[in-house]
Structure 1
Amino acid sequence: MSNFETFLWVAFPWLCIAAFIIGISWRWRTDQFGWTTHSSQIYESKLLRLSSPLFHWGMVFVVIGHLMGLAIPKSWTSAVGISDAAYHLIATIPGTIAGVAVVLGLIGLLYRRIANRTVFLSTSKSDKVMYLLLGAAILSGFIATLSTQVFGGPHGYDYRETISPWLRQLLIFNAQPELMMDVPWEFKVHVVAGFTLIAVWPFTRLVHAFSAPVGYTTRPYVVYRSRDITARPVRHDSGWDPVRSVKTQHDDEARWHGA
């Protein structure tokens, strides 16, 4: 194993994770007003209404699939009676559908940002870098799925024997880079692209993925005042009104009821 391979499968992922953790903390402490999607919906909404849900819902299922495939050991699924062939179908079919949705959604978002001049002018340099790295991670993963899982034979490539244990051991500081030696190049490219995206994540608009509107359901109601000029003010008694004569009080009452 060369020094470059050791760096690629040990040091590089750790550096990317460190950049992510430090970057997220720094961004939260120094730039909460910039912690936003920088929405461009005001410039164009038709393509956005189609592409954005397609991309985001697809990504939800892609992330769930990654977590299941990488975090759950193969011995656990075997223990509950799920065979390799059954697992392959369970993972590949929904994963491919989710991947198609993400790719189509990303293409729509990119086309919208390039074709619409107003949206293009609102695109910052960090947005361009983000789209480049995001596209590399998504496309490399989609290509790896198609080439090794969909068209790679009846059982595909069993990443649960190499990539999954490599990542789990890496996260507990027990690096085993030798597990990545015989991994297909498509998955290697996807892993490198994914960790690169993780490293730059805190410095782009992708931070909005960690902003869930949890407090929205418990926030107090917003009370608006009526702007109808015909609306009468609600009369209320005040303990600080000056003492008035009986005649003045009767006159005030008559004027109030007459109104």
Structure 2
Amino acid sequence: MNSLANFLWVAYPWLAIVAFVLGMSWRWRTDQFGWTTHSTQIYESKLLRISSPLFHWGMMFVILGHVMGLAFPKSWTRAVGISDAAYHLIATIPGTIAGIAAVLGLVGLIYRRVRHRSVFLSTSKSDKVMYVLLALAILSGFIATVSTQVFGGPHGYDYRETISPWLRQLLIFNAHPEWMADVPWQFKVHVLSGFTLLAVWPFTRLVHVFSAPVGYTTRPYVVYRSRDTRTGPTRQHVAWEPVRSNKKQVHEPNDEGQWYGA
């Protein structure tokens, strides 16, 4: 294998993983207040209400499909009685539907940011870079699935013979870059774009993926008090009040027969 192949399929993935791990640690230590989605819902909610669930639910099933395809060897699915043909259908049909949902949701989110000026002005440089890399990773994966799995013949391309074992061995420091030599270019672009997105992940709003709201189940209740005037008298708190003379003091003499203010 030449040096370029060693860099692309050994060094670059590991550099991306190291950047992800160190970056997440640095972000958590230095920017916990910025560990949010930076929501722009207050600027526009109609498109967001449609595109966001479509994108997030689509991505959940896409990620689940990646875990099943990359982490579980072919021998495992055969051992539980799932043939290669059945696995191909199980992976391709739901995966394509989930990919369509993720792509449509992402297009809607990007269109929303470009179309509405208030949302566009609140988009940071890191957001723009994130959207470009996220779109590249999702679109390349969708193109790879459609071109090689849907229209690639009855069995499609068997990535579990090349990409899956390459990744598993890479993660245990037993790299085999030669296994990626004959992989279709669509999958190669998808793999590289995926690791690039992983490298910049800690420096974008994508960190909110690791902030599951588990604390909601144990946090104390929030007590809301009505401001409706019909429920009782309200008092306006002001920082200062002007000094006014008491009419009773002005118009009535004191005990010595003198008038106040005289």
Question: What TM-score do you get using the length of structure 1 for normalisation?
Answer: 0.87
Distance (whole Å) between structure 2 residues aligned to residue 10 and residue 184 of structure 1: 18
AA of the residue aligned to 1:87: Y
AA of the residue aligned to 1:97: I
AA of the residue aligned to 1:5: A
Per-residue displacement from partner, 1:109-145 (whole Å, max 9, x unpaired)? 0110001111111111000000000000000000000
Residue 214 of structure 1: aligned partner: 214
Residue 49 of structure 2: aligned partner: 49
AA of the residue aligned to 2:173: F
AA of the residue aligned to 1:98: A
1:37-116 mapped onto 2 (5 Å cutoff): 37-116=37-116
Distance 1:142 1:228, change over 3 A: closer
The number of equivalent residue pairs is 233
AA of the residue aligned to 1:18: V
Q: Report the 3-state secondary structure (helix = DSSP H, G, I; strand = E; otherwise coil) of the residue aligned with 1:156.
A: coil
Q: Report the 3-state secondary structure (helix = DSSP H, G, I; strand = E; otherwise coil) of the residue aligned with 2:196.
A: helix
Distance (whole Å) between structure 2 residues aligned to residue 85 and residue 230 of structure 1: 69
Distance 1:101 1:179, change over 3 A: same
Q: Report the 3-state secondary structure (helix = DSSP H, G, I; strand = E; otherwise coil) of the residue aligned with 1:42.
A: coil
Per-residue displacement from partner, 1:23-71 (whole Å, max 9, x unpaired)? 0000000000000111011000000000000000000000000000000
What's the C-alpha RMSD, in Å, of the aligned pairs?
A: 1.4
Distance (whole Å) between structure 2 residues aligned to residue 209 and residue 49 of structure 1: 18
Residue 16 of structure 1: aligned partner: 16
Distance (whole Å) between structure 1 residues aligned to residue 100 and residue 231 of structure 2: 56
Residue 154 of structure 1: aligned partner: 154
AA of the residue aligned to 1:124: S
Residue 130 of structure 2: aligned partner: 130
Residue 176 of structure 2: aligned partner: 176
Name structure 1 gaps, 5 residues minimum: 233-259
Does the alignment pair 1:25 with 2:25? yes
Name structure 2 gaps, 5 residues minimum: 233-262
**Structure 1 consecutive aligned stretches of length 4 or more whose deviation exceeds 2 Å:** 223-232
Question: Identical aligned pairs, as a percentage?
Answer: 81
Distance 1:167 1:117, change over 3 A: same
Distance (whole Å) between structure 2 residues aligned to residue 193 and residue 39 of structure 1: 25
Distance (whole Å) between structure 1 residues aligned to residue 153 and residue 164 of structure 2: 20
1:78: Cα distance to partner?
1.1
1:225: Cα distance to partner?
4.5
